[in-house]
Homo-oligomer: A and B are copies of this chain.
Amino acid sequence: MAYVIHLARPTCTPYSEEMVKRVPAIKTRLSPDVIVASAVALADTEGLEAVTIRRLAQEHEVTPMAMYWHFSDKEALLDGIAEYLIGAVRLPEPTDQPWDVQLRAILEAFLVAIRPHPSIAGLALKRILVCEPGLVLAERALGLLRAAGLSPDKSADVGTFLLCAVISLVANEPGPKRRVAGEEREEMIRHKMAGFAALPPSRYPNVLAAGKSLAVCADEDDYFAVNLDLLVAGVRGIRPA
Contacts and interface: CB of A to CB of B under 8 A. Distances in A.
A153 B14 CA distance: 47
Chain B CB within 10 Å, residue with most, of A152, A168, A222, A230: A230
Nearest to A220: B157
A236 B238 contact: no
Contacts of A152: 206, 209-210, 213
A225 to B, nearest CB: 9
Contacts of A174: 156, 160
Contact of A230 (B199, B207, B210, B237): B237
A235 interface: yes
Interface residues of A, number: 58
Nearest to A125: B172
A87 B174 CA distance: 21
A68 interface: no
Contacts of A234: 229-234, 237
B214 A139 contact: no
Q: Dominant SS at the A interface?
A: helix
Contacts of A29: none
A226 B157 CA distance: 8
A139 B233 contact: no
Q: How many copies does the complex hold?
A: 2
A234 B143 CA distance: 20
Interface of A: 125-126, 129-130, 135-136, 138-139, 142-143, 146, 152-161, 164-165, 167-169, 172, 174, 192, 195-196, 199, 203-207, 209-210, 213-214, 217-219, 222-223, 226-227, 229-238
26 contacts: A125-B172, A129-B207, A136-B203, A139-B203, A139-B206, A142-B207, A142-B210, A143-B206, A152-B209, A152-B210, A153-B213, A154-B222, A154-B226, A156-B218, A157-B218, A158-B230, A160-B214, A161-B165, A161-B169, A161-B223, A164-B168, A164-B169, A164-B172, A165-B165, A233-B233, A233-B234
Given A135-B199, A157-B227, A161-B223, 11 more contacts: A129-B192, A135-B207, A154-B226, A156-B218, A157-B226, A160-B217, A161-B227, A164-B169, A164-B172, A168-B168, A234-B234
